[in-house]
Structure formats: structure tokens, C-alpha cells
Amino acid sequence: MELIKENIYLIRNKKIFSSNTYLYKHKVNDECIIIDPGFDTELIDNNIQKNNLKPIAVVSTHGHFDHIASVNFFKNKYNIPFYLHESDFKISQNANFYLKVSQLNCKIETPIPDFLFKGELYNLNFKDINLEIYNFPGHSPGSCIIKIENNLFSGDIFYKNGLGMGSIPRENKEQLKSSILKIFNIFFDENLILPGHGASEYLGAIKCNNIELKQFLE
């Protein structure tokens, strides 16, 4: 586990399919939000226990299997709600079909969201933690950026290097391009991008240095 900031933990899932899971900790107490729990259920939970954290919710940036694989475990163990955008509900419920198509020999317990975000922007508050949920379709219909303070948990919209292309089901490239341009207009260069795969980076640096992203937008 890596400490990205004083209250943001990164767990790199390597079991079955690599992805990033984040734990956003309350700045005063030990409550935390689990973002995009992947396949490494035991690794994630061990780090929660090791740091004496108390999960209060699970939020996924989108409904692809590598971002929801452990949701049911944490929902049931900690009796906490699961949040997802309504446009990715169908994709999330077909996760095992997409695992099979991807030739990954495993199954997950498909989670039922307790709450479905609607529309382009939704505000979610957990005591002193304020989440702004922005829907940016393209990688998937319900792909979202979860903004907490200066931090943007961006799922697979784009990465420090490269794009979130080649997923199953396939992206809508025109929607993705439009969404990325909106992201550039809405957010600031100083916002930290915390993607679903790979390393974090500030938005301004990604704009300048992500060659594949630049070529995609041309």
C-alpha cells in the first residue's frame, strides 16, 4: 500500500487483473471511503485493518469488473452502501459475462448498488467528506470522476500515460474525446488525477506529457 497524501491510500491490485483501489480517509477520524475495490479483496481488507480504518461507503468510478470485484465483500462485512452511476448499472450486472469474454477464468459476486447517481453532476456528503460526482461518458456510459477536495479519482478515462482504450465492452471514442475536453475545461492543472491504473499525476502535467492523449484529441 502507498500513501499518496496524508489521507489517501493506494492499493495496487495484482490478482487476476491489475487495477488501483483507493482508500480516502477522513482527516480527523478513522472513517474511510473505498473507491474502486478490485480483485485483491484480502489485500485491501488487510490494509484497512492494519491502519484501523472504518469503511463507511464504497464508490465505483464505473461498472467494469476490475472496479467492482470486491464490492459485495465490503458491503457485507462492514454493512455499508455501494454507489454507482445509473448508466453503468447494466454493465456492472453483466460483469461475469465480460470476464468470460476477456478470457479471465474467474467470477465475481455481482453487487447491487444501494444508490445510483443520476445526471451529469451529483453531490454526495458523508459528514465532513464532500464528493462531487461528474459523469463523463466514453470509456463507459456511466464513467465518472469523483472529486474530493483537489483530488480527482478518474477511473479509466485517461492515465498519466495513455488512454483507457481497449476495454470490454468497447468505448465510444467520440463521447470519450468530448468528455476529456470537458474535463480540461472544468478542472484545474493543479488537480491531482488518481486513475484506475498506473501512477497519479497532476492534470497540467498529463496535458503536457501524455503523447497518446494529445494525439487522440487532435
Record: fold of 2-217: Metallo-beta-lactamase; Chain A (3.60.15)
Which pLDDT score is estimated for 166? 65
* Per-residue pLDDT at 15: 80
CA 60/CA 102 separation, integer angstroms: 20
* Closest-CA residue to 201 (of 20, 47, 49): 20
Give the integer Cα–Cα distance in Å for 137 and 142. Answer: 6
Distances (CA, A) of 47 to 3, 12, 92: 11, 11, 25
Which pLDDT score, from 0 to 100, does residue 169 have?
Answer: 75
The pTM assigned to this predicted structure is 0.95
Percentage with pLDDT > 90 across the chain: 84
What is the C-alpha to C-alpha distance for residues 109 and 143, in angstroms, rounded to an integer? 21
Task: State the cell numbers at 52.
Answer: 484501523
pLDDT of residue 170: 73
**What is the predicted pLDDT for the residue at 167?**
65
CA angle, corner 12, sides to 6 and 17, nearest 5? 155
In the predicted model, residues of the chain with pLDDT beneath 70 are: 165-168
Domain boundaries, the chain: 2-217
